[in-house]
Chain A
Amino acid sequence: MARKEPLEYHDFNTHRNFNEIEKAARDIEVLLKSDYRLSKRSIALLLLQEDEEITALVRRKEKDFDTIDKIIQKTRKACPEPLQYLITLERQSKVDRILREVISAREKRESSFEQWLDDITIKPLTGVPLLFLVLYFGLYKFVGQFGAGTVVDFIEGNIFEAYVNPWINHIVVSLIPYKPIQQLLALDYGIITLGIRYAVAIILPIVGTFFLVFSIIEDSGYLPRLALLVDRVFKKIGLNGRAVIPMTLGFGCDTMATLVSRTLETRRERIIATLLLALAIPCSAQLGVILALLSGRPYAMGVWVGFILLVFLFIGYLTAKILPGERPSFYMEVPPLRMPKISNVLEKTFSRMQWYFLEIVPMFILASVLIWFGKMTGLFDMIVHALAPVMNAMGLPEKAAEAFLFGFFRRDYGAAGLYDLQKSGALNGVQMVVASATLTLFVPCIAQFSIMVKERGVKTALAIVGFIVPFAFISGVALNWVLNTLGVTL
């Protein structure tokens, strides 16, 4: 058995300024009068390492904090490198000395299959195709089509529309004589029949299937591999490789993707991701409508895909250039691949579903109340009327305004609006591409907007929407103009 040093380590750091730090730690120890549960030496070392929490605690507890602070400042000046760096080095060399006495390492033998799998997931030539397979089957097929399609249709159609809604409507109508209150609770836009139905029938299956896939990817150690492969591309739009999860997730549900973008490291990255998700990533609901609308017209589909991709890259590139702040940096530990543990995966999935559900339900209730308010006061009719000139400028019939407005509140309604227009033959190919592109760029739904407010704050969310709404319409007008000027028929 080959004997090897446990860690290949050259010890050439120990002498550096450590005497000074040691002396400072001892001086501080004497000055610490209160009880901290931790040993005074630990507290002293944490103070020297500028630990924020401990510094705040000691500042509160010790009358003579000024003297302690003076020692820290003096030691910091005497050392050429940050104290935390020096202390970590010293600790590491102590650890290593101990390890050398008690550990001997064997040359680790990995099975050749493990080694092979490990290799092909990291090397770009094999890793990138594998990445597309994982995203295609894991996110698009399983979350997008099975979760957001099959399961949603079943819960919504076979449970809510067949049993729950008629039952609730019946109870509400027979118990409450006032029409406005009936509409607030039930019927077309009620809190229960719209808000709760959306949360349970649409969001829950998408969230559940997504978190299941995500937990498997996370537990298997694949996530860092995914991130390291796409990092270079994502840097171009001001994000780093870690953003691959929220961005791909957006194709399933932009609302949840916006929520997940909180895992990004800097505020700048979170803002860029939120903007791009709201602007140029169509969610599964929009994708469904648009694919149906443009099916049978491959050129129209091509123009739509190309236009959205162009906007995505252009705005991403521009925001990365304009937005001030730290450039994104990428670093991650790459653990070996292992078989995910089913109990782990299920536990994580359920706790995340629960957490998400509690966050989203109030948003949907709020949305139902807003729709009720808009309908009752005639506000919606006014907005549809006011949008007529914009529709004209995009070359669309005035009725298309309804699709945009209601699509924001209720995705199937907006979709149905466009369908009806298409079926009645009111839209030609160019009009359909313009309507689809504008609908994609437009803020997708009220739930996503609520989450943007919750996650990024009112000011940022309003700024993003304030940019997106005119941008979507201006893009629609421009696209219509270009296609007509070139005399394109699709």
Chain B
Amino acid sequence: MVAKDSGVNLTELGVGEKATILRIDAKDKKTLNKLMALGVLPGMTVMLMQKFPSLVFKVGNTRIAADEAISKNIIVMKN
């Protein structure tokens, strides 16, 4: 089990950096469902590809673009 507060959020990664998703800290159920539907799940490896103008990251074989507000809900641990 990973301690609850050992992670950073996705926007804090550098471009090209890889990390493991720890949890999704969505305040509302809608955001949580959106992210799950895209396959963003704890345990998956995420690679940040771009930060500006929107964040682009890769989870599994899926590439996703998202704004900062949503990306901040994704808590990761750097590999």
CA distance A200 to B42 in the complex (A): 53
CA A8 to CA B20, docked complex, whole Å: 9
Give 1 or 0 for each of B37-79: 1 = CB within 8 Å of chain A CB.
Answer: 0100111110001101110100011111111011000000000
* CB of A126 to closest CB in B, whole Å: 12
B63 CB → nearest A CB, Å: 4
- B20 partner, pick from A10, A231, A330, beta carbons under 8 A: A10
Q: Which of A107-148 contact B (CB under 8 A)?
A: 122-124
CB nearest neighbor in B for A225: B65
Compute how far the CA of A6 lies from the CA of B59 in the bound complex, rounded to whole angstroms: 12
Which of A11, A85, A331 sits near B34, CB closer than 8 Å?
A331
The smallest beta-carbon distance between A122 and chain B, in angstroms, is 6
Residues of B within 8 A of A397 (CB): none
**Chain B residues near A329 (CB-CB < 8 A):** 31, 34, 67, 69-70
Q: Are B43 and A84 in contact (CB under 8 A)?
A: no
B36 with A85: CB separation less than 8 A: yes
The total of Cβ contacts below 8 Å across the A-B interface reads 96
List 14 contacting pairs A-B, 8 Å CB cutoff, sorted by A: A7-B60, A9-B45, A10-B45, A84-B32, A85-B24, A92-B41, A229-B54, A231-B54, A232-B67, A327-B69, A329-B69, A330-B65, A331-B34, A334-B65
* Chain B residues closer than 8 Å to A225, beta-carbon distance: 65
Give A12 to B54 CA distance when docked, in angstroms: 30
Say whether B67 contacts A334, CB under 8 Å.
Answer: no
Min Cβ gap A446→B in Å is 37
Chain B: how many interface residues by the 8 Å CB criterion? 33
Given contact pairs A82-B29, A228-B54, A334 touches B63 in the complex (Cβ within 8 A)? yes
Chain B: minimal CB distance from A273 (Å): 18
Partner of B50, one of A92, A123, A327: A123
Task: Check B1–A12 contact: CB distance below 8 A.
Answer: yes
Contact with A along B1-41 (1 / 0, CB 8 A): 11000000000000000001000100001011111101001
Contact B67 A240 (CB under 8 A): yes
Report the minimal beta-carbon distance from A336 to chain B, rounded to whole angstroms: 8
Residues in A whose Cβ lies below 8 Å from that of B65: 224-225, 227-228, 231, 330-334
A136 CB to closest chain B CB, in angstroms? 20
A228 touches B56 (CB 8 A): yes
Return chain B residues, CB-CB under 8 Å to A122.
Answer: 49-50, 56
Instruction: Find the A residue at minimum CB distance from B36.
Output: A88
> Which residues of A in the span 437-477 have a Cβ within 8 Å of any Cβ on B?
none
Which residue of B has the minimal Cβ distance to A230? Answer: B53
Bitwise, A303-340 to B at CB < 8 A (1) or not (0) is 00000000000000000000000010111111110000
Q: CB < 8 Å: which of A10, A89, A232 contacts B54?
A: A232
For the complex, what is the distance from the CA of A309 to the CA of B54, rounded to whole Å?
A: 24
Partner of A241, one of B34, B36, B54: B54
Would you call B64 and A331 a contact (CB within 8 A)?
yes
Contact (Cβ within 8 A) A333 B43? no
Whether a CB of chain B sits under 8 angstroms from the CB of A235 is yes
B43: which of A11, A82, A123, A336 is its contact (CB, 8 Å)? Answer: A11
- Interface flags for A214-244 (1: CB within 8 Å of B; 0: not) read 0000000000110111111001000011000
Seed contacts A7-B60, A232-B67; 5 additional CB < 8 Å A-B pairs: A9-B44, A92-B41, A123-B50, A232-B53, A235-B67
Chain A residues positioned under 8 Å from B56 (CB to CB):
122, 228, 334
Whose C-beta in chain A lies nearest to the C-beta of B34? A331
Q: Does A42 contact B (CB under 8 A)?
A: no
CB-nearest residue of chain B relative to A105? B61
Give the contacting residue for B67; candidates A89, A92, A331; CB below 8 A.
Answer: A331
On chain B, the residues within 8 Å of A344 by CB distance are none
Q: Is the pair B38, A331 in contact by a Cβ cutoff of 8 Å?
A: yes
Q: List A contacts of B36 (CB < 8 A).
A: 84-85, 88
Q: Which 7 A-B pairs have the closest CB atoms?
A: A8-B45, A228-B65, A228-B54, A331-B66, A330-B67, A334-B63, A232-B53
Beyond A11-B43, A224-B65, A330-B70, is A231–B38 a contact (Cβ under 8 Å)?
Answer: no
Closest B residue to A85 using CB positions: B32
Whether the Cβ atoms of B1 and A331 lie closer than 8 Å is: no
Are B42 and A330 in contact, with the CB atoms below 8 A? no
> Is A428 positioned at the interface, with any CB of B under 8 Å from its CB?
no
B34 neighbours in A (Cβ, 8 Å): 329, 331
